[in-house]
Structure 1
């Protein structure tokens, strides 16, 4: 089930990165990548849930790792800024996701 979730995260990240390239959905190729990527992300997320992953854990990992990946890739690919406060916030997101997963295992 974790492979399905990782596929959902990857699809969502590709779709989100393609939003910038779509130029407000005025460029066909990147716009198609956005739509297909988000549809694939929700399909893969649903498969992780069907295979027994808890909804709260799946959504926390999906959204948390997606946010972290987009922030880092925005820095690397698009030259966007990332302040130390933002890095700290991303650290809190990752710690929160880990704690949710640990809580689910002990609950």
Structure 2
């Protein structure tokens, strides 16, 4: 998403900085979660699911892309699925 912003807008350099900072932050927080004892499958599931959901929401705001009720329901299913996996792993 930030790469798209960089390709379409003036001031692309600052968007590339956002991309690099975002990737660094994602890997740092993933590493901290794994070091804190979170299982790899759970951590990756949360990481991937939140990426999909947040990208869909941000593209609606930044690029005025559609976000239909069905898509919103899908985001809800993603959140529910990750929570169920976390609850299942706790047992």
Deviates more, 1:91-100 or 1:62-71: 62-71
Deviations 1:7-31 (A, max 9, x none): xxxxxxxxxx42222117x922211
Unpaired runs of at least 5, structure 2: none
In the TM superposition, residue 66 of structure 1 has moved relative to its aligned partner by 2.2
Equivalent residue number for residue 6 of structure 2: 22
Deviations 1:20-76 (A, max 9, x none): 22117x922211221222022112201110111111111111211221122122212
Equivalent residue number for residue 28 of structure 2: 43
Equivalent residue number for residue 73 of structure 1: 58
**What TM-score comes out, normalization by structure 1 length?**
0.71
Asked which structure has the greater RCO (Cα within 8 Å, sep 6+), the reply is: 1
Measured in 2, the distance between the counterparts of 1:92 and 1:33 equals 29
Unpaired runs of at least 5, structure 1: 1-16
- For the aligned residue pairs, the C-alpha RMSD in angstroms reads 1.9
Structure 1 runs, 4 residues or longer, greater than 4 Å off: none
Residues 1-107 of structure 1 mapped to structure 2, 5 A cutoff? 17-23=1-7, 27-106=12-91
**What TM-score comes out, normalization by structure 2 length?**
0.82
Measured in 2, the distance between the counterparts of 1:85 and 1:41 equals 28
Number of aligned residues: 89
